[in-house]
Amino acid sequence: MNDYFDQHNTPLDRRIAVALAKLSTAIKQHAWQEAMPQGLTPTQGQVLTLLSTRPGIGLAQVAEGLAIRPPTASDAVRVLEGKGLLNKSKKPDDGRALVLHLTPEGVAIAEQAQSWPDFLVPAISSLSEPQREAFWQGLLGLITTLQRRGEIPTSSMCVTCRFFRPNRHQDARRPHHCALVDAPFGDTDLRLECPEHELALDSKNGP
């Protein structure tokens, strides 16, 4: 009987990939439900969220950060500017380049957009602490690998940051060190989007 599943089941890796695709579908559906009452598209919400963590970037960085085509990014920015949620200004050190900043109204909507995935939180909270920690580690590892392969946009993660010093401390709860704030921290404190992140020249650290 034991051999039945060995012979007939899809490999675990592929089942995890299918499970992630199902979650992705649910997240997209939920994003539409949240965005539409605000007169936005999910992409426009993502632009606002990106600019809230990376203010002052240009159109090319928006397209790159969201893995969307430049014309799509341009359309989203044009609509958001028309709604008064962001504005463009000349880059201080390059008058020909334009940078994007949220208006106060844009900041408020961006905060709401950041909470769109919160519908997942109760389900995640129902997992045990060890399960959540293992899940977080797995997700960070997966994102890191996909980033290195150029298959998803780059996040400002601790594990690719020049200030990250992995496993520098004996304390098993806080083995890592952030050289920027000179403080130890644990796996569950690893950040996915840190405003102080600076890309390490050799970002081969991993969670």
Binding residues for ligand SF4, per CB under 6 A?
158, 161, 163-164, 178, 180, 191, 194, 196-197
Q: Which is nearer to ligand SF4, 101 or 168 (CB)?
A: 168
Instruction: List, in sequence order, the alpha helices (H) in 36-160.
Output: 42-53, 59-66, 70-82, 104-114, 121-125, 129-148
Q: How far is the CB of 130 from ligand SF4 (least distance, A)?
A: 23
Pick the closer one to ligand SF4 by CB: 116 or 164: 164
With contact defined as beta carbons under 8 Å apart, do 160 and 203 qualify?
Answer: yes
Residue 2: partners with Cβ closer than 8 Å, 6 or more residues away: none
Q: How many CA atoms lie within 13 A of 193 on its CB side?
A: 10
Q: Which amino acid is at 76?
A: A
User: 129 or 182, CB closer to ligand SF4?
Assistant: 182
Q: Mapping DSSP to helix (H, G, I), strand (E, B) and coil, where does residue 32 land?
A: helix
Q: What is the nearest approach in angstroms of ligand SF4 to the Cβ of residue 159?
A: 8
CB of residue 190 to ligand SF4, shortest distance in Å: 7
Counting every residue written for the chain, the total comes to 207
Residue 165: other Cβ atoms inside 10 A: 16
Q: By C-beta, is 3 or 182 nearer to ligand SF4?
A: 182
Q: How far is the CB of 140 from ligand SF4 (least distance, A)?
A: 12
Q: In angstroms, give the least distance from the CB of 197 to ligand SF4.
A: 4
Residue type at position 73: A
Q: Report the run of H or E that residue 100 belongs to, with start and end.
A: strand 94-102
* Closer residue to ligand SF4, CB minimum distance, 51 or 177: 177
